[in-house]
Structure 1
Amino acid sequence: MKEHKKMYKRGKLWVAATLFALALGIQIGSSTTASADTVTSAWQATTQTSVAAQPAPQTVNSSYNKADQGNYAALDSVQLTQQGQLNVSGWHATNAAVNRPNHWLIVYDQTAQRELSRVQVQTPVARPDVARVHDVYGAATAGFQAQLALTPAAIAHGDAIQVVSRYTDDLAGNGNPVDYRLARQ
């Protein structure tokens, strides 16, 4: 377990948050709840399992706090099935998604430093709870539920696996990304 300190501004005060990075370490058939820390990255994916022609349109309230520079997200549940499907649900909301209409979920192997799977979020999930807490672009429809296929070899080595939520302006999910690396706690 790695401990990281992250400074962020809360009103006029600077606050230190302790973040713990853990391996995904999911037991087959189990379900868990997790939260996340914020990291923005520009790494490019090398493989993909699903590319859609056009993303589903989001209904977005035009009155939101445009000054909020936060990148907020959390995993609600993670489950690895007997068939090697990683079922994830959660949310990701940020004003940086304004000109990035394509939302992707990516499973990334931190140990081997490679992408394992990705899927585009086609149907955003309504999240009024997120909208009540975070007054940012698209917060009311920031939810996601997805299945990502993993090969047995990808999960057999006990590598540190991470789910990444990405907004991008690229249909393939690579260009101009805003990432949130979700970690199991």
Structure 2
Amino acid sequence: MPTILMDDEALDDFLTAAVGEYQLITPATPLPCFALLLGTAGPATLHVERVAFGRNARTTDPSARREFSETIVPRFGAAYENEHRAWWVDSRDLLKASREAETLGLELLGSIHMHPDWHRIGPPQERGLVLSERPTPMDRHVFAQTAWPINVICYLERRDNAFYHALAAWSPARCGTELTALPLRIRTRTKVGA
């Protein structure tokens, strides 16, 4: 089981985008925030060096529309009929990120997405759904489908006038929807003394 090493700049880029999207969320629009993780793979570590953002093609890509209508909504509920819920990265942006990674000597390692404190800001009928940095049944399904080695969930909540986050990294099992928690370490900005 590899340890995930994430550069603080990569996490900061994602958190900046996530806080921006969070501030636009309403009970009717559970806006997602999603990015691809680019980095290097070693024998015992996966090093995330940058994130790459892409457009959400959930409502424009015929494959995405079909997946949601035929699989996601019947399996995970009518809440996923809301076009603002969940993410389907645009295939052109996925290809662009993959090429960018290759140019930089990096690999596409996986994804990161936000779970907001929906039990506080969502519609009253969904206040019982408490999200965290743990995967939902939908996350388990998506992680198994992509088979990326790293899937990071960033739980983001607002308390008073400050944002707080928690992170966890997951890897899909070889088959099925079981997930393995991966050790996740974030590089600090503090310099090591000489």
TM-score for the superposition, normalised by structure 1: 0.35
More strand by share: 1
Of the two, which has the highest radius of gyration?
A: 2
TM-score, normalising length: structure 2: 0.34
